[in-house]
Amino acid sequence: MRLISWNIDSLNAALTSDSARAKLTRGVLDTIKEKDPDIIAIQETKLRSTGPTKKHQEILAEMFPEYDYVWRSSEEPARKGYAGTMFLYKNSLTPEVTKPVIGAPEPMDYEGRILTLEFDNYYVTQVYTPNSGNELKRLEDRQVWDEKYTEYLQKLDQSKPVIASGDYNVAHTPIDLKHPENNHHNAGFTDEERQDFDKLLKLGFTDTFRKVHGNV
């Protein structure tokens, strides 16, 4: 199975805007399509609570005719047009879709941050982890999120193997940043966030990029 995960930073802009950035984003989508993945995980879709518009659906059908898709958007009491996740998967696949609530601090569970596909022999799940924010205002809530999310993955793993993907909003080691010396206490590179990612790996999960590519 081939899985590609990407933070798109606004699916709406990518599909409907004529800006230079949107054109670059569509180029990335074309490249992803050329790789012929079985599943595409997309984070930060920023769609309305009702999901893709009719125009979005038409464009997705044209760009990805061999794929079905499921989405999860931010909804009240969370901010509108915020966060959000989507899976596109080959229409030959028939997963069971769940949109889990993990008991995170409000309104994180309403921000459309986790989607899970269940197959006969494994799970594929994606996450868009909350950012700790300016001045780390959301760090404590983020730590609770990390704990609840880890518990969720553990529960899945007790049933069948788990492929976990997404945007974890953490630079786990200094090699993951160009200038780690200048970012020690910034969101995504705090000791707390990195330690939480350590805990996840110590439970038996594998950072597949580092497994394949090493410390490069």
Residues carrying an active site annotation: 128, 167
Residue-wise DSSP of 131-186: P--GGGTTHHHHHHHHHHHHHHHHHHHTTS-EEEEEE-----SGGGSS-GGG-TTS
Tell me the three state secondary structure of residue 5. strand
CB-CB contact of 1 with 38 (8 Å): yes
Report the number of secondary-structure helices (H) and strands (E) in the chain.
6, 8
Neighbours of 173 (CB within 10 A): 15
Rounded-to-integer distance, Cα 93 and Cα 58, Å: 21
Reported as half-sphere exposure (CB side, CA atoms, 13 A), residue 189 has a value of: 15
